[in-house]
Amino acid sequence: MASPDINTDDFSAAVDYLTTLPEVDENKIGIVGICGWGGFALNAAAQDTRIKATVTSTMYDMTRVSAKGYNDSVSADDLYKMREDLNAQRTKEAQGAPIAGAPGLPDKLTGEEPQFIQDYFNYYKTKLGFHPRSINSNGHWNVTSALSLITQPILAYADTIKSPVLMIHGEKAHSRYFSEDAYQKLTGDNKELMIIPGANHTDLYYKTGVIPFDKMEQFFKTNLK
């Protein structure tokens, strides 16, 4: 199951653990969130004041895309129909039907897929990102997970974040608007949006020559003094 609440609190649980380690200064803890966990990282920064600096990379707002589709293309009627269908599925599963998984990536590409699907495939279905137990490699979350995602917008309190935030996104990423819009919600005086020229969404997953590690390192060194 995916859960905006649980997946946000995963960051705070990690902070809990770090505060128990004698070699860790509990006042110098920062987090990094990639893709969907970039959005959850921002939500965690709004929730947990122990997080002193946050980096998001190629961020997705999973609640927004689940409810509204890409570029907010889902209508209110379609969203209501989605709720009806998902709750009907919950009823079936409660009565003993097998748990249904949401559609995942195709097993093969036809060449007709949108570029971002091809980019995902070339990461998650290859040795770069494939793992036999990986949800993203072999299916997807339970389909009913979407119910919490479509009703709990994770960035509702992004404007309350007072700690520094660095947001990184690719110039050519289909998801770039998620970071741009979230950046506009941030009200702190220490925020930055860094657009990487020529990079697509998945480039920032693994391409060491594209990911701005020096920038991230300097950001944390500056803000976790």
Residue 61, CA atoms < 13 Å, CB-side half-sphere: 29
State what percent of residues in the chain have pLDDT above 90.
88
Averaged pLDDT score across all residues of the chain: 95
**What does the alpha-carbon distance between residue 88 and residue 92 come to, in Å, rounded to a whole number?**
6
Pull the structure tokens for residue 110. Answer: 């036809």
The residue ranges of every structural domain in the chain are: 1-61+154-225
Mean pLDDT over 75-88 rounds to 97
Question: Given this model, what pLDDT does residue 55 score?
Answer: 98
Question: Given this model, what pLDDT does residue 112 score?
Answer: 92
- CATH code 3.40.50.150 for 1-61+154-225: no
Q: Are the beta carbons of 127 and 147 closer than 8 angstroms?
A: no
Reported pTM: 0.94
**pLDDT for 136 beyond 90:** no
Q: Chain-centre distance of CA 86, in angstroms? A: 22
Q: What is the pLDDT of residues 169-193, one digit of tens each?
A: 999 999 999 999 999 999 988 999 9
Question: Given this model, what pLDDT does residue 132 score?
Answer: 87
Mean pLDDT over 121-132 rounds to 91
Q: Are the beta carbons of 186 and 165 closer than 8 angstroms?
A: yes
Question: Given this model, what pLDDT does residue 161 score?
Answer: 97
Return all residues near 225 (Cβ < 8 A) that are at least 6 apart.
28
- Quick one: DSSP state of residue 55? E
Q: What is the pLDDT of residues 21-66, one digit of tens each?
A: 999 999 999 999 999 999 999 999 999 999 999 999 999 999 999 9
Question: Given this model, what pLDDT does residue 139 score?
Answer: 76
